[in-house]
Amino acid sequence: MSITSAPTDVDTAALRARLRQRIDQKTKPLGSLGRIEALALQIGLILRTEQPVLLQPQMVVFAGDHGLAARGVSAYPPDVTWQMVQNFLAGGAAISVLARQHGLALTVVDAGVRHDFEPRSGLLIRKIAPGTADALAGPAMSDVQCAHAVRVGREVVHELPGNVLLLGEMGIGNTSSAALLLARLTGEPIERCTGRGTGLDDKGLAHKLSVLSGVLATHQSAETPLQALAAFGGFEIAMLVGAVLQAAEERRLVVVDGFITGAAVLVAQRIAEGEGHSIVESCVFAHRSDEAGHTLMLCDLGASPLLDLGLRLGEGSGAALAWPLIDSAARLLCDMASFESAGVATAADSSLLD
């Protein structure tokens, strides 16, 4: 089931002006709700209405394994990917708890996990292959696999109800893929893009940097966004790229979690730029991750995250934690009284008392 498309003939400048006026007329001093006011304005612009209602928010976690994980770039073994998917579905993971708390529909997508899951509620099995290939030895994905994964990500979103998409991921080794994508697409040194991921010590971080430097050298010709995505992986990131592109086309509000989901947005934004439009305007960035490189990524995207809590869990946990702020901003825009409707005097009215 897909959402009804938002109107396409809206005068954005006029809508922005009406939204700004509506916010300024609420029963509060001008600007007193700080960044919540900017968030409310953004929500209205994304959904193209002065009275946005956030419908059936969907938390979607894409999961996939990475061949590069065998090179020791993570503190955890690859089997943790499928074990955590089971934990998501059993309700025991952080994102499971947060989704329940905030009434978010949770869907887990097997994009390419090296495990055969039994069909069950809340799981979509869309496996491209049982994990990507070793990116140090060759491309993580073939061009065909990459295009297929992006297309499936689009299809997953198109079939979901609601007008809000919250993004999450799971995949041992995927901070490596995100760091590689950031380095290649921004030109930043890999040393500035690479962090400790699941908790590598200094020796482990040095090894990870050595491996990633080798991967970049192996794929010097992978310059376009899709070439880089195929070279560095993974299946879950490629599906996230498709999900972001589809959600933006359908004028859904996209809540971006952290470093890995941000890498998918970076790829999607580069693709969109090549087609003359933007993805970022549809995205609310939930938080600034503690993962090295995320601040660089946010700066490149011109994004201001809502939270800065030292998070580096992934799973969509930051997106879920930011959800109450997003929901509150929309409700304030719709339900908060104006000075006129409440019969409350404005600051300008005080001049009448002089």
Give the residue numbers marked as catalytic.
Answer: 315
Please state the three-class secondary structure of the chain as a single string: CCCCCCCCCCCHHHHHHHHHHHHHCECCCCCCCCHHHHHHHHHHHHHCCCCCCCCCCEEEEEEECCHHHHHCCCCCCCCHHHHHHHHHHHCCCHHHHHHHHHCCEEEEEEEECCCCCCCCCCEEECCCCCCCCCCCCCCCCCHHHHHHHHHHHHHHHHCCCCCEEEEEEECCCHHHHHHHHHHHHHCCCHHHHCCCCCCCCHHHHHHHHHHHHHHHHHCCCCCCHHHHHHHHCCHHHHHHHHHHHHHHHCCCEEEECCHHHHHHHHHHHHHHHHCCCCCHHHEEECECCCCCCHHHHHHHHCCCCCECCCCCCCCCHHHHHHHHHHHHHHHHHHHCCEHHHHCCCCCHHHHHHC
Six token digits for residue 341: 């409707």
On whether the CB atoms of residues 262 and 274 are closer than 8 A, the answer is no
Q: How far apart are CA 12 and CA 315, in angstroms?
A: 34
Task: Identify whether the C-beta of residue 170 lies closer than 8 Å to the C-beta of residue 84.
Answer: yes
> 32, 346 in Cβ contact below 8 A?
no
Instruction: Say what angle helices 143-158 and 235-249 make with each other, to 10 degrees.
Output: 50
**Residue 31, token pair as written in the block:** 């600007």
